[in-house]
Chains A and B, each alone.
Chain A
Amino acid sequence: MEDPERTKQLSPSLAAKTAARVVKLPTRGETGVAKATRNGGATTGHKGSKRSHALWYALYLPQLEELALPQQRQYLNKLAALMQEVSSTVSFHPLALVCEIRSSLKYFGGIDVIHCRLGQLVTAQLVEWALADHFLYAVSPTVTGSLLLARSGHNALVYQKDNLRSALGQLSTEVLQLNREQNRRLYNMGVRHLRDIWRLPPAGLRRRFGSDFLNQLNQALGKVPEPTRNYLPPPAFLTCYDLPYELENLDRLLPVADEIFAQLCDFLRRRDLGTSQLLFSLQHEKRSCTEISIGLRQPSRSRKHLMLLLETHFSNLSIPAPVTAVKLEVTQFDAFVSHSDPLRTSEKWGRGKWGQTENSFDSGENQQRSGRKFYSGPIFPHPISPNDSNLNQLIEQLQARLGEHHVKSINSVAEHCPEYASQQTDYLEVDTPGKKRQAVATQVALHPRPFWLLEQPLQLRIRRGRLYHCKAITIVSGPERIETHWWSGTDVRRDYYVAREQNGSRLWIYRERGADKRWFLHGFFA
C-alpha cells in the first residue's frame, strides 16, 4: 500500500487513475485522508439514488467466531445499536456489521471522524466484553465489496464503483469463504486472486460454482442489487401532550386520550406490535403526577379497547389538582396476534345477527320437504376457548376498576390440612403455566367438603349435653381423622364430622383431639 503522505493528496478522481486506486484508511489516532474525505462529503445525501451513491463501512470482528451463535447475535445487536450513532442503516452479516456512511459524512465532517468515533465506541465495548479490541474495517460503494475488503484485512477505502474491480482483484480467494471443495477446484484452476476470476467467463463459473457464487461477485462489483437485513432498534413509545388550558373534568380528557391512542395504535400497526402494559400519567401543576397503569390480558392495538379501559380507570379516579398535561408511555411491547373470528362461534349462533336465514335452514319442515338433511351445528365447530377476547376484556375491566388483587382465581392443592387445600391467587399469576399445573390437585379427599370455609373456626357451645351453633346440632356422619402439620408447630389433630342443624343446614364441624376436646365449626355445605 502507499504511504500516508501520498494518500492525503489523493482525490477520488485522481485515485481512479492511479495504479493502486486504493486509499489506506488511517489507523486509530491518526488523522489522514482529510482532503479525500472533504471531497467525499461534498457529494453527500442523494436519498433517492442512495444505493448508487452509498458508501458502506464494514466492521469485521473475527474474534466473535469463538462465541456461540446466540451470543454472537446478541453482541452484534449491541454493536449495531452503537453504530446507529453514525448511521441510520446498519445491516447484519456473519461476524460483521455494515453501515451506510455517505449520508452522514457532511454532518460528522469526514470519514476519519466517523471512523475514529466508531473505533472508540466499538473498542470500549469489546474491552468491556473482554474480547480482543482490534477489528477490521473497509469502506466501499457496495456492501459485499466492503465485507470482502474488511475480511482480507486491507482496511481500505474505495470511493468509486469503477475502482472496485481492481481493488478487489488483489484479494486472495480465501475472502470469499467458499467450502473446501470449491476452494480446491479454484486452486486447481489456477485461480489465486479475485482478479483471476474476473477473466473467467461467467457462464462457466455459474455452471461450476453455482449461481450464489457468481451473485456474490456481482454484488461486490455493484452489478446486482444487494438486499440486506437491517438493524431495527427496539420499539419505544412516549408521547406528551400539553393541554391548552387546565382541565378538571376527566371526561373532557377523553378526546385528547383518544388522539394519543390513535398515534399509539398507528405506531404499533407500523411496527406490527401490540402492547400489554401502558402508563398513562396526568400531570398537575406543583403536584406529583397521577399515574394510571393500564394492563391488558392480551396484547392489543385496538384504540376502542384501550379507550374503554381508560374510561374504566377514569370512572373511579379522583385527581388532586387540575390536569395540565398528559403523557403516555408504553412499558411493554408484545408481538401482535390477530384473532380470526370463526364463521360461527357457537350453536346458539342462529339466534344472532343472521338468525332468520338460519332458522329457515334449520326448521324441520324445510328438511322434510327437500328430503335433505342440513347440518345444523357450526360449520367449523369451535369450542369457546377460555381465552376469548370477550372474557379477557371483562377481566381487564374488573381489574381496572376493583384493583388487580381483587380478582382471584381458585384452585385446590394436594394438602391434608383443610385450611391449605384451597388456594386463591391473583388472576394474573395463573398465566404462568408451570406454576398452575404444579399447584392444581385433580384428586381431592373422598370425604365430603363444604363450599364455604370459615377463615377462623368458630367454637361451638354445648348446652345440656347437645352441641349448639344457632340451633341444636346432630351429627350425621364421621369421623374423618386429620392429623397433619405436626412439623410446623401448629399441630392439627382433628376429627371432622358432617352435622345437621335443626334449621336444615349442613355443617362441617370438628373436635380437637387433645386435652380440651373442644368442638369447632369449620364450614357450611351451602
Chain B
Amino acid sequence: MNEPAIQIQNLTKCYGPHCVVNQLTLEVPKGCILGFLGRNGAGKTTTIRMLMGIVPPTGGSARVLGQPADAWTPELRARVGYLAEGHHVYGWMTVADCGKFQASFYRHWNWDIFHAIIKHFNLRPNHRAGSLSRGQRAGLCLAMALAPEPELLVLDDPALGLDPVARRSLLEAMIYVTRKSGRTILFSSHLLSDVERVADRITVMDRGILRAYCTLDDFRARIRHFVLHFDGTPPSAPDLPNLLHSFRTDRELAVTLVNADGQAESILETLRPRRIEQVDQGLEEAFVSYVGERGEKSFFLHNLGARS
C-alpha cells in the first residue's frame, strides 16, 4: 500500500548520440511535493514527458501510481493531473466551454474547485480562451488540471512567463487546493522562491543527470560558501574535495563546497587567511552555485589599473 507515486529506474532519453536524460533513477513517495530543479536543457521536461507517456524513452522504465508509464490507461490518466509548460487551451473555446469539454472526459469532476480557481483568477465564463492573458490561461489550465482532484499532479514549469502577481495567484491556488488533500505533486521550475514556498523536497538535474535528491534544508546545508580574507593577493584555491567553484579578487578568495566536512576547513586554514567567513546561502544562491560553472575564476582590480 506504500507504493511510491512515481518510480523511475535508469530512465534514459537520447536523441542520436546526445542523451538528454541519462540513467535517471528516483522514487517519489505519495503525499510529497517535489520541486524538480535544473537549468534549461537539464532534462526536466523530457523526464516529465517520458513519465506522461508522451515521449518514448530510449532506455529504462518508469511507473506512475504503480502502473508502467509506457502503457497509460484511461483510468490512470484520470488519476493524474498534468499541466504542460505552454498552458495550452483551445483558443476558440470560452472558459465555460473549456470546463465543459474537459469535464466530459472525467467521471469525477469537482465543479466547485473549477469555479473557485476561475474566480481566483478573475475569469468570466464567457471569456474566449484565446483572448486570456498568460496568467489567466495558466489559471484556467490549473483549474482544469485540479478539478478532477487527481492523486498525482504533474506541473511542468507552471509559472513560466508569468508576472509575480500571476505567479503568486497560481501558487496560492495550488497550495490551497492541494495541500489539504495530501496529494502528490511534482513540479518543475526555475523560480527557486516558488519552490522554497511550496516544496517538501527537491531534485536537481544537471545535463541529464540527477545530482541531488534531498530536502530543501539539506540542500542548503550541504552547500557551503566560505570567504577567505587576505592582506595581500590571495593564493589560488587549493585542491579541495568537492569544490564547486572559487572566485579570487584582490583581497579575497571565495570558495563554494558541497558536502564539505571539517577536513575542507582545515585545508582552507593552511592558506593562512586573515579571516575565514562562512556565508549562509539561500536556496537560489545554493542552486546557482550547485549547477553553475565550476572551476576557478578571478577578477583583479590592480590588473585593470596596470593596463590603464
Q: Do A and B bind each other?
A: no
